[in-house]
């Protein structure tokens, strides 16, 4: 990918493979960069993304990079360039499993896992999500909601909230594709093995957890 600045607009040359065309075609696309994006991500994450020099050690160690639309090093480069919409609409920030392999490999000590977490929260607050992973932010919210309520995840409550959020828009699609039946079978299998508790067990100091969540929203 090459690029050049043109006053308020940046023009990127990207390769796109078109149906029926044997070799990739070069296509220019215009994107309006947000030059404050890098500063905002640096401030919110506490990291200095400017230090990234694209060595790609992060991406080469990522266990789920095969499923991402942009590799982690590309996400950091796009943050540097102010390509906010592309970053916040990428599947990468939701595919990331927060394993922190990238963070431990970075020679510049950038906490890439932490940066991706910051980007997830930015995407949530702006209501953005890549269509290919549109249910993942809802799972993320149900997971965090469960921790906020009891200090630990209660799987049944979390799954009920997640199902209510997702089924509203896709009940028939999930019924028709058999996904709902598969999920019910999986849930029953976990229940039989004692992996799903009906009763939730809260920690003693849930007030402290709530304070942490409130602080993170400021």
Indicate the residue among 111 and 155 with the shorter CB distance to ligand SF4: 111
Indicate the residue among 10 and 106 with the shorter CB distance to ligand SF4: 106
Indicate the residue among 51 and 171 with the shorter CB distance to ligand SF4: 51
Minimal distance, residue 68 CB to ligand SF4, in Å: 8
The residues with which 2 forms a beta bridge, in sequence order, are: 13
Hunting for tokens 């963070």 — which residue is that? 103
Minimal distance, residue 135 CB to ligand SF4, in Å: 18
Of 170, 97, 80, give the one whose Cα is nearest residue 134: 170
d(CA 198, CA 156): 7
Minimal distance, residue 203 CB to ligand SF4, in Å: 26
| List of residues contacting ligand SF4 (CB under 6 A) | 52-58, 61-62, 64, 72-73, 76, 96-102, 105-108, 110, 112-113, 116
Question: Which helix (DSSP H) or strand (DSSP E) does residue 29 occupy?
Answer: strand 25-31
Indicate the residue among 67 and 167 with the shorter CB distance to ligand SF4: 67
Indicate the residue among 35 and 53 with the shorter CB distance to ligand SF4: 53
Instruction: Kindly report the number of other CB atoms within 10 A of residue 137's CB atom.
Output: 19
Minimal distance, residue 119 CB to ligand SF4, in Å: 11
Minimal distance, residue 113 CB to ligand SF4, in Å: 4
Helices (H), the chain: 37-45, 57-61, 72-81, 84-88, 92-95, 101-105, 112-125, 136-150, 155-177, 179-192, 206-217
Minimal distance, residue 146 CB to ligand SF4, in Å: 21
Sign of the alpha-carbon dihedral angle for 47, 1, 123, 93: negative
Indicate the residue among 87 and 110 with the shorter CB distance to ligand SF4: 110
Q: What are phi and psi of 212, to 5 degrees?
A: -60, -45
């Amino acid at each position: 990918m090459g690029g050049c600045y043109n006053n308020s607009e940046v023009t990127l040359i990207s390769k796109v493979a078109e149906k029926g065309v044997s070799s990739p075609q070069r296509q220019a696309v215009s994107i309006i960069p947000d030059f404050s994006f890098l500063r905002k991500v640096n401030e919110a994450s506490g990291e200095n993304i400017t230090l990234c020099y694209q060595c790609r050690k992060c991406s080469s160690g990522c266990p789920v990079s095969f499923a991402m639309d942009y590799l982690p090093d590309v996400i950091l480069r796009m943050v540097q360039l102010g390509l906010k919409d592309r970053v916040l609409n990428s599947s990468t920030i939701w595919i990331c499993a927060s394993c922190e392999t990238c963070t431990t490999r970075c020679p510049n000590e950038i906490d890439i896992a932490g940066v991706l977490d910051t980007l997830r929260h930015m995407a949530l607050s702006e209501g953005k999500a890549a269509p290919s992973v549109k249910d993942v932010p809802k799972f993320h919210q149900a997971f965090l909601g469960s921790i906020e309520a009891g200090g630990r995840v209660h799987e049944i409550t979390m799954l009920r909230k997640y199902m209510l959020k997702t089924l509203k828009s896709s009940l028939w699609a999930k019924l028709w594709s058999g996904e709902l039946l598969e999920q019910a079978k999986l849930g029953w299998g976990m229940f039989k093995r004692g992996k799903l508790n009906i009763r939730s067990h809260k920690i003693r100091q849930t007030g402290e957890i709530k304070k942490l969540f409130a602080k993170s929203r400021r």
